[in-house]
Structures are given as structure tokens and as C-alpha cells.
Amino acid sequence: MTTTAIDNQQGKITVADIQPVIRVAAWLLLAHAALWGLLFFRWVTFASFSWVPFDFENALATFPPILAYVVYLLGLIVDLTAALMILRGIDAGRLLGLGRGVAVIFMAGVYWAMTQEFFGAVYLAGLAGLLLVMLTRQNAWAINYSAAFWLIIFFVLPNVIVLLISLSERGPRGTIIYPNLLEDGLVSLFNDYVRFFTPIGGQFIYLRIFWRSMGLAVGNTILCLLFGYPFAYWIARQEVRWRNILIFLVMIPFWTNFLVRTYAWLLLLRDSGLINNFWTSTLHEQAVALAGSSGFFAWLAEVTAAPLPLLFNTGSVFLGLFYGFFPFVVLPLYSNLEKLDWSLLEAASDLGANGYYRTTRVLLPLSLPGIVAASIIVFVPSLGAYVTPAIMGGGKVSLLGNLLQQQFMTARDWPFGSAIGFLMMAIMLLAILIYFRFSGEEG
Amino acid sequence: MIKKGLVILGLALTMALAACGGGPAGGPAGGPSAAPETEADASSSEETADGPQLADQLSVYNWADYIDEQILVDYEEEFGVEIIYDTYASNEDLLAKLQAGAEGYDVIFPSDYMVAVMIDLGLLSEIDLAQLSNADNMDPQFMNAPFDPNNQHCMPYQWGTTGIGYRAGNEFFEENPPTSWAYVFEPELLEQYAGDGINVLNDPRELAAAAAIYLGLDPNTTNPDELDQILNLILTAKPYWKTFNSEDFGSSLLVPDEVVLSHAWSGPVAQAYYDTYDEELEDGNWYYSIPEEGAVKWLDNICITSSTERYETAVHFMNYLLRPEVGAAITNFVYYGSPNKAAEAFILPEILEDPSIYPPAETQENLVWLTEVGDEGVRLYDELWTAVKAGG
């Protein structure tokens, strides 16, 4: 009786004091104890139920069989104990949980090193990290933990891998030989980066592809801005109800897959396509019939004899890119112009500024953040464009996207491909830094 | 409460001890490596009875549109094995997938040079010809190919050539049928029809080999000077070419008449011929010729992955594909030549008589294999290709 009374008393005093974040951690531990139990049950009954093994179970089976029992039971006991202790307000439970977290992170590392089983290791380490953050009462970190965790797994880690591969060498048959700092020294690490800037047979073939891609990306950005800005401006000056309908209309093409829309352009532009069909049959026949009547029709009959070269050239690549990215320019420009204080333009007008000065001194500076955002949204994907040039360009010339594909697939030179990828990332990062600089001045 | 907790812990510990005492009984039987062994044991003991014991499923990974799928259905019905069928678009796609560690594919169909790469990377299982009772059906000229000596890993599946496809009824070609690679590379000839469109294969090895054969060089050369000559020839002809397409040129360029001449694989041209076949004229729009200087021949192969867990079933399926009727059904569907000699009795006569699919003996003498060029070669061809694509 006395012991339970003390227990209850202890419980009452401390349960109220347990911070919510620690309480959640305790429930997490409790749930995980149940999971350990379930896994233990599966392991014991593998023969009798003939479970389909998970990857991590196959990985565990490569160790001495006793290990799985130890891990599962130890996990069950530790998690259960820690959870119950915390929920009963015993502070040592928190310490036990912390110790468990550190140990499991270490274990996950060893596990991955020995079995290369990625998902199990990520799960173990991720959950242990979350427990650590919660049990050390880092509330802000605990809330942002999932975001940070996925950012590391899906952004930082892949980029580190790409960087590592870009510093490696292509081995026999397209395998990857990872760098060895002690043997190779620092300079040879960047072989693949140097290769990009080295002439092959007297020609800077990689730089030519790079400059062509740059030219296309810059040209497309300018083209999109030239057409997109007046269009966004026009939408922004409409009545509110019309604005939403117009923006909706801009977005409708997104409902169709981009690849399908690109192939639709082929049907329009090719020699036997809709436009050339009209040009070489309908128009040509009329012109031939009227050729005797005037010089103009004689000339028209002559030019319409052959189809227009609408496809498989630089012009059609520009058209495809312009068509694909135009909506991406209109949307950020519109959202910027929509919030513009139009009375400033009226004020400029009152102060005697004509249309030219109103535009260059007031309107453009105010909408600069929108222009820069739109430019980057177009420039970055244009630089790496792959599908549009491949389909609408006829494959005659390479862009950076084609070069990348060629390295990863045909040449099986992953290190060089990764190096090109990293160089492209550097350029895009530069573009985004410029954006922050411009938008920072405004802000 | 603490007492209860202790009791639970005690129970758990006893369980653990009991489990340990009983010895290491749990777990998925020693990991995945053990699975094939058990199957092999089972099948070897069964062999004395009615054939090998087949698995319930078999995963077949083939090129798109490269088999009459009725053949798969027939196999499923005859042997009760469910076939999981999946397709890929290029040898490189297949390699990338297998190299990334994809498991579960049993039977694959790589081309000649890719077989050599895959053998080197240990991606293919060795096969025992004694298990393939239908191996004798094969034409000896397709056995023991340089990329797979003694057919230790693969059996031939379908073969074809790389030549020139051209538009029937074109005035210029009626007088001058393009029977030479000059029609792809010589500016004086190209000027005559470049306005109507010319396509070349978007494939470094194929295009370089065509140029090499025209120049009288070895199509598998890795000599930098010779590759320079090849590059120069390609760059002089390139302004006359309209497209580089090897993926869908049959349906997107030949059939709708976007081009009048194409460096082409035999199959898509034959398909374009039958797609544009006019019953009244009894002719199609597209002809195929194998240039007199010679041409590349290639062979796709039936192979078994090294990661397979159903080796016996895969070999059984392989043997099924080598049956004469089955080999003929494949050819009657995809219009490529069958390396299966015994199948010729079942192949449609118009295919057997078609010189673009079954070229006459004197043409066959001029056909060459593309062989692996090694790591330095891959790099040289990659640089050649980048230089081709970097220019104007």
C-alpha cells in the first residue's frame, strides 16, 4: 500500500510537469517498443508463417542469427523502460532515451557500412535523431526536424554523392573509381572539370555546347520577358473578376502533359503538317491558278512549291522553349504587378512625367523583383532543357542536357557527367545569388 | 506499476533466453543468397521426372515491340508460369538499370556489343548448352559470335543490318538507287535530294561505322587519325542532313514522308514498307538497300541475368524461344531475320524472299559486327560524337 501511494504521489507531482514535447517522445518510444516486439515476433515465426522477408531482414540474416534476437529484445526493453519511466516522471528515463538515441545513431552507421541497406539505416538514424532533439527539449528543432531531415536525405546527401562522383575517375566499363587523396593528390581530383575547358582535336567542343546552351537560355529569357511583361501588365490592369479568369486561362495548358504538347507542335510544323499542308496545297493551288494575272501570284506560286522549313532548326527550338516557359514568366510578373501601387504612376503623371519616364523611372524599378524572379524561373530550366531541343531540334546539335544524357548513358562516364552537372549548378546558383541581390535592394 | 513493468521485462527476458536456448531458429533462412541454391537443389532432384521444376513467375525484360506477345501468353498456358513482361528503349537503359542493382529481372535481350560489356561486369549468368535441346536449330553463322565465345552466356534472338532506307517513287532514286554509302556522305549526291530531307541514326557507333566503311576503314577502328577522317567526312555531310533520329524514325519520319532517305536499321524500314503498303499497287513506299561497300550487322541475344533467382525457369523459357515455330512467330511479327535455321519453314514467304531481311549470300559476306572498342575507344567515340554535335 505504501509503495503505491508514493508512486501515485510521485506520478501526480511530476506528470503535470512533463513538457509536451517530452511526452510525445515517450509515446514515440512506446510505439517503437511495440514495433520491436512485432519484428521480434516475425523473426521467431519466420519458418512457421513463411513471411516474405523485408530488405532489412535479409540484411540482418547475414549476421550471426543471435544478433537479431539481441537487437530486437534490447530495443524492446530499452524503449519500453524509457517510455514508462518518462511517463511516470522519472528523470532517468529521459537520460536512458538520450543514451538510446546516441547508441542507435552509431548503430545505424555501422549497420549501413556493413550491409549497405539504405532505408533501414535512414529510418533508425532519423528516428533516433528526432528523439534526441525532443528529449533535449529543442522545441523549435523538433518542429522543423522532418523538414531538415528530408532536406538532408533528398538534397544535401544526393549532392554530396554527385560531388564525390564528379571528383572520381571513370573506371573500366564505366565503373566509378572513387578518389584517393593520398595517392592522387589534390589536382587530379578536378580532371573532369578541367576536361570541360580543354580543347579536343583543336576545338573547344564542350565550351561550344555550353555557349550555345547559354545563348539559347538567355535568348529565351529575353523573348519570354518581351512578350510576358506587356501581357502580365495588361492582365493586372483588368477588373478583378477578369484577372482571375485570365490567369486561369494562362494555366489551362498545364493540364496537358508537356511532352504531348511538344509532339502537337510537330504535327503543326512538320513538312506534312497543318501549316505546310495549307502552304503547299491550298495556297499553292490558288497561286498557280492566278499566276498569269500578276507578278505577285507568280512569285507566290514559286515560293509555295516547297514547304516552309519550320521544324528541326534553331528557330523551332526557340519556339518550343518560348511556348513551354511563357506561362512561367506571366505568373510571377502578374503577382508582382498586381500588388503595385498604381497611384504612384498617377503621381508621376501629375508631376509631368511622360509615358517613357513613367515606365522607365517608376514602373520598371517597382516591378524589378518580379522581372528578376521571372527571368530566373525561365533561365534555369532553359539552360538544362532536354526534351524540347531533342524533339523539335531534330537532334542535330547538342545542348548541355543532351551532353549530360550522353555521358551518363552512351559513354557511361558518370564522373564527367557529374562534373558537368555541378558546373551547371554553379551557374544557376550564381543566377539565384543575383536574384537575391536585386530583390534584397528592393526589400 | 513498476512491479508490473518488471514482470513484463522478466517475461520478455525469459522469452529471449528461451529463444536463444532453442538456437538460432528465426530469420529468413540465411538471407537472399540462399534462395537460388534451394531452387537448384529442388530442380536437380526433379530432373529425372518430367523436366525441371518451374517457378510460378518469370520476369522478361525486352525491347519495346520486339515480340509477338501472344508467344508469352502461349508459354503461360503451356507451362503455367506467369510472365512479368517489361520493356526498355536502349541497351544503355538496360545496362543502367542492371548496374544500379535492379533485381528481379530474369531474361533480357542485350545487343552484341552490350553482351560483351555485361559479361565483363558480371551481369550475366553462364548457360549450359546441354540444357538447351533446341540449340541445334540455330544457324551456325550466328553462334560463337566474337562478343560471346562458345555461347557461354547467351543465345541469338533476332538479327538485322544497318543500311539505307529510301523513298520509292522518288524520281532521282528511280534512276540512281542508293546502293552506296556515298548517298549518305557525298555532297554532290546529297545536293540532289537534301531539300526533301535526310535522316541519319542518332547513334555514335553506327554513324561512325557507316562513314568508316565508306572510307574503306575498319568500322571498329580506334586509331585517332582514322577517327579524324571519319569526323571530317561526317562534318562535311552534316549540313545536308535534316535530323539525327534512331528512336522513332520509322513512324515519325519515314511513314509521313518527312525525309526521302535515311541511314536506317532494316526493321523500321520494313515496318514502314508494310505500314504504307498499297493493296492495288502491291507495293509500299519505303525500300531498303544494303550498300555495296558493306554494312553493319547486329544480333540481339537472349541472356539470363546473374541476379536471377529462377535460373531453371529462365533456361526453360530460353529453350522455348528457340523452338522453330516460336522463332518464326517472332520474325513474322517484327520483320527482323531469325537466326533460327529450323524456323525458316514457318516464316512467311514474303519475309524470307525479302533481300533486305534475308540478304543474298554475296551481300552477307560484306556484313561486319560492331565489336567493343574498350574504355579508351568509348572515350574517343564519345569525343567524336560531341564534336559532331558541337558544330553548326
**DSSP readout, A62-93?**
TS-THHHHHHHHHHHHHHHHHHHHHHTT-HHH
Same domain, B271 and B172: yes
Contact A174 B378 (CB under 8 A): yes
B149 and B267 Cβ atoms separated by less than 8 Å: no
B253 and B200 Cβ atoms separated by less than 8 Å: no
Lowest mean pLDDT among A72-76, A252-256, B260-264: A252-256
The three cell numbers locating residue A366: 517597382
Count other Cβ atoms within 10 Å, centred on residue B366: 16
Kindly report the CATH number assigned to the domain that includes residue A351: 1.10.3720.10
Q: Dihedral of CA B68/B71/B74/B75: which sign?
A: negative
Task: Give the model's pLDDT for residue B134.
Answer: 93
Q: Which residues of A touch B391 (CB under 8 A)?
A: 208, 397
Mean pLDDT of B39-65: 65
In a domain, A123, yes or no: yes
In a domain, B24, yes or no: no
A312 and A320 Cβ atoms separated by less than 8 Å: no
B196 and B214 Cβ atoms separated by less than 8 Å: no
Kindly report the CATH number assigned to the domain that includes residue B230: 3.40.190.10
Helix axes A240-251, A314-338, angle to 10 degrees: 150
CA-based nearest residue in chain A for residue B382: A411
In a domain, A151, yes or no: no
B374: left (phi over 0), alpha (psi -120 to 50) or beta: left
Count other Cβ atoms within 10 Å, centred on residue B259: 25
- Boundaries of domain holding A346: 197-270+310-412
B127 and B270 Cβ atoms separated by less than 8 Å: no
Alpha-carbon gap, residue B302 to B129, rounded angstroms: 13
Distance set, CA A331 to CA A220, A224, A249, A323, A334 (Å): 16, 12, 11, 14, 5
In a domain, B48, yes or no: no
Same domain, A209 and A350: yes
Task: Give the model's pLDDT for residue B305.
Answer: 95
The three cell numbers locating residue A416: 564527367
Alpha-carbon gap, residue A415 to A162, rounded angstroms: 8
- Nearest Cβ partner for A395 among B29, B231, B244: B244
Same domain, A66 and A212: no
Interface check B104 vs A, CB under 8 A: no
Alpha-carbon gap, residue B240 to B256, rounded angstroms: 20
Same domain, B175 and B317: no
Task: Give the model's pLDDT for residue A272.
Answer: 85
Same domain, A253 and A389: yes
Residue with the larger pLDDT of the pair B227 and B334: B227
Task: Give the model's pLDDT for residue A369.
Answer: 87
Band (B29; pLDDT cuts 50, 70, 90) = low
Band (B26; pLDDT cuts 50, 70, 90) = low
Same domain, B176 and B286: yes
For a pLDDT cut of 90, what percent of chain A falls above it? Answer: 38
Contact B382 A51 (CB under 8 A): no
Distance set, CA B62 to CA A92, B78, B110, B147, B316 (Å): 60, 21, 8, 20, 17
Interface check A241 vs B, CB under 8 A: no
Mean pLDDT of B296-316: 93
Same domain, B285 and B176: yes
- Nearest Cβ partner for A205 among B26, B379, B390: B390
In a domain, B186, yes or no: yes
Residue B1 has pLDDT above 80, yes or no: no
- Nearest Cβ partner for A413 among B26, B228, B382: B382
Instruction: State the nearest Cα–Cα gap between A8 and chain B, in angstroms.
Output: 10
- Nearest Cβ partner for B375 among A68, A172, A403: A172
Residue ranges of B 6-35 with Cβ closer than 8 A to chain A: 8-9, 12-13, 15-16, 19-20, 24-32
- Boundaries of domain holding B117: 54-159+298-356
In a domain, B126, yes or no: yes
In a domain, B20, yes or no: no
In a domain, A354, yes or no: yes
Contact A61 B29 (CB under 8 A): yes
Give the phi and the psi of residue B62 in degrees, each rounded to 5. Answer: -125, 165
- Nearest Cβ partner for A203 among B2, B241, B387: B387
- Nearest Cβ partner for A394 among B15, B243, B392: B243
Same domain, A374 and A256: yes
Count other Cβ atoms within 10 Å, centred on residue A65: 16
Q: What are the start-end ranges of the H helices in chain B?
A: 2-21, 34-46, 69-79, 91-99, 112-120, 171-175, 182-185, 187-193, 204-215, 224-237, 249, 266-275, 311-321, 324-334, 349-352, 361-364, 374-390
In a domain, B7, yes or no: no
Alpha-carbon gap, residue B253 to B286, rounded angstroms: 11
Nearest-5° Cα angle at A355, A354 to A358: 85
Residue A209 has pLDDT above 90, yes or no: yes
Last residue in a domain, options A135, A165, A186 = A135
Same domain, B184 and B252: yes
Task: Give the model's pLDDT for residue A215.
Answer: 93
Q: Dihedral of CA B143/B147/B153/B156: which sign?
A: negative
Q: Which residues of B touch A80 (CB under 8 A)?
A: 5, 8-9
Give the pairing type, strands B57-63 and B82-88: parallel
In a domain, A10, yes or no: yes
Contact B1 A46 (CB under 8 A): no
Residue A12 has pLDDT above 60, yes or no: no
Which tens digits make up the pLDDT trace of A88-108? 888 888 899 999 999 999 999
Q: Which residues of B touch A394 (CB under 8 A)?
A: 242-245
Alpha-carbon gap, residue A400 to A404, rounded angstroms: 6
In a domain, B152, yes or no: yes
Contact B386 A200 (CB under 8 A): yes
Band (B28; pLDDT cuts 50, 70, 90) = low
Interface check A327 vs B, CB under 8 A: no
Instruction: State the nearest Cα–Cα gap between A307 and chain B, in angstroms.
Output: 9
Same domain, B128 and B173: no
Same domain, B146 and B61: yes
Interface check B216 vs A, CB under 8 A: no
- Nearest Cβ partner for A394 among B99, B242, B392: B242
Mean pLDDT of B264-281: 89
Mean pLDDT of B209-231: 95
Contact B29 A205 (CB under 8 A): no
Task: Give the model's pLDDT for residue A17.
Answer: 62
CA A284 to chain centre: 49
Q: Could you tell me the pTM of the whole model? A: 0.81
Specify the residue for cell string 514508462.
Answer: A84
Residue B37 has pLDDT above 60, yes or no: no
B185 and B237 Cβ atoms separated by less than 8 Å: yes
Average pLDDT over chain A, rounded to whole? 87
The three cell numbers locating residue A177: 573509381
CA-based nearest residue in chain B for residue A203: B387
In a domain, A279, yes or no: no
Same domain, B232 and B351: no
B75 and B334 Cβ atoms separated by less than 8 Å: no
The three cell numbers locating residue A415: 564522373
Contact A411 B382 (CB under 8 A): yes
Task: Give the model's pLDDT for residue B27.
Answer: 64
Band (B4; pLDDT cuts 50, 70, 90) = low
DSSP bridge partners of B63: B88
Task: Give the model's pLDDT for residue B267.
Answer: 86
Residues in chain A: 443
Alpha-carbon gap, residue B326 to B199, rounded angstroms: 34
Alpha-carbon gap, residue A251 to A264, rounded angstroms: 18
Interface check A84 vs B, CB under 8 A: yes
Alpha-carbon gap, residue B345 to B322, rounded angstroms: 14
The three cell numbers locating residue A402: 543532351
In a domain, A109, yes or no: yes
Same domain, B259 and B385: yes
Residue B12 has pLDDT above 60, yes or no: no
A312 and A396 Cβ atoms separated by less than 8 Å: yes
Lowest mean pLDDT among A28-32, A181-185, A221-225, B54-58: A181-185
B163 and B288 Cβ atoms separated by less than 8 Å: yes
Same domain, B318 and B349: yes
Residue B161 has pLDDT above 80, yes or no: yes
B268 and B286 Cβ atoms separated by less than 8 Å: no
